[in-house]
Amino acid sequence: MGNITLKKVSKSFGATTIIPEIDLQIEDGEFVVFVGPSGCGKSTLLRLIAGLEDTSGGSISIDGRDVTGEAPAKRRLAMVFQSYALYPHMTVYKNIAFPLKMAGEDAAVIDKKVKDAARVLNLTNYLERRPGQLSGGQRQRVAIGRAIVRQPSAFLFDEPLSNLDAALRGTMRLEISELHHQLKTTMIYVTHDQVEAMTMADKIVVLNAGNIEQVGSPMELYKTPKNLFVAGFIGSPKMNLINGTAAAKHGATTIGVRPEHLGISTTSGEWKATVGVAEHLGSDTFLHVQAGDVGTLTVRADGELGVRHGETVYLTPSPNKIHRFGADGRAM
């Protein structure tokens, strides 16, 4: 089981308030991603749940049990750190076995569990190595192995992929998602990368300056962002946010149109624009255009689109895909 409930949880370091007050419900088996810009308090929130930091207020309960004052070890949570935090003086085998040893399991049980984990994580041939003799991806897997052997009620990941190169990041993303499907254990995953959030999460929690901006499934956040922050943060390339008369026409202070919801034509359309840089990705082309009063826009167009720098194009937003925001930045 792995229900986690936060009630009015807050955290200050001295006089600095990092997390004003958060309420959050995480269901058993969910893959929850905390996403937000660097420094917004994601790690702090995760560490509060882990018990590595004391709360300044509010309560945390796991499976209905109040754990607010409990030591990390008692919470039955496992954590994978950004730096991996492997024990450098122990072999891979001993690293993975460590939590079991601390739990006082007997040697035969430990051996079986370590070897099972190693098999799942493709580490069987590396069990006698030290962490220093492994690649980044392998270290990451050892860290995950150390987390899974204990069969915790939830896994906590703090930006586990940020030290890996882009290709490996893609692979590990899949591996972690796959692991979640196999284990069906609650996972809380912290990242500043909205792509990771979108691709992995059942539920995304968007954080900004210690506040929850929105909680929802990836598609909910994509389709109905509650405010400008979420609108700008979720989606790649970023949503175009337009102020002024173009927005007023739709009865809003700001309107948002995703790059993929802009129709492009060389003959006619709502906004006239001059083509700037075009980024060809093969499947898609990202066009950066200058549309007079409307401002600079990004357009996601067909990969085969053949427009040149300086050419004039016409853009039309899909009418039912326009997001309208009021003066307070909230969706209308």
Partner 1 sequence: MARAVSTRRKIGFTVAAWVVALLIFFPILYTIITSFKSETEAIAGFSLVPSGTLESYAEVQAQSNYFKFFLNSVVIAVGSTILALLIAIPAAWSMAFSPTKRTKDILMWMLSTKMMPAVAVLVPIYLIFRDANLLDTRIGLTVMLMLINLPIVVWMLYTYFREIPGEILEAARMDGATLWGEIVHVLTPMAVPGIASTMLLNIILAWNEAFWTIRLTTTNAAPLTAFIASFSSPQGLFWAKLSAASTLAIAPILIMGWFSQRQLVRGLTFGAVK
Ligand X SMILES: Nc1ncnc2c1ncn2[C@@H]1O[C@H](COP(=O)(O)OP(=O)(O)O)[C@@H](O)[C@H]1O
DSSP assignment letter at 303: T
Q: Within 64-93, which residues bind partner 1 (CB under 8 A)?
A: 71-73, 77-79, 81-83, 85-89
Nearer to ligand X, 39 or 292 (CB): 39
Q: Which of 98, 157, 189, 325 binds partner 1 (CB under 8 A)?
A: 98
Q: Is 43 in the site for Mg ion (CB under 5 A)?
A: yes
Query: Looking at beta carbons, which residue is closest to ligand X?
Result: 43
Angstrom distance (rounded) from CA 131 to CA 134: 5
CB of 46 to partner 1, least distance (A): 11
Q: Is 41 in the site for ligand X (CB under 6 A)?
A: yes
* Closest to 322 measured CA to CA, from 256, 233, 229: 256
Q: Which of 2, 42, 62, 153 binds ligand X (CB under 6 A)?
A: 42
Residues 6+ apart with CB under 8 A from 241: 228, 231, 232, 254, 255, 256, 325
Question: Of the ranges 36-44, 67-75, 118-126, 235-243, which one interacts with ligand X (CB under 6 A)?
Answer: 36-44
Question: Of the ranges 31-39, 179-187, 223-231, 240-248, which one interacts with ligand X (CB under 6 A)?
Answer: 31-39
Q: Which of 4, 9, 18, 231 binds ligand X (CB under 6 A)?
A: 18
Tokens of 30: 């969910």
Beta strands in the chain (DSSP E): 4-13, 16-26, 31-35, 57-62, 65-66, 77-80, 154-158, 186-191, 203-208, 211-216, 240-243, 254-257, 262-265, 271-280, 284-290, 296-302, 312-317, 323-325
List residues binding partner 1 (CB under 8 A).
50, 52, 71-73, 77-79, 81-83, 85-89, 98-99, 102-103, 146, 150
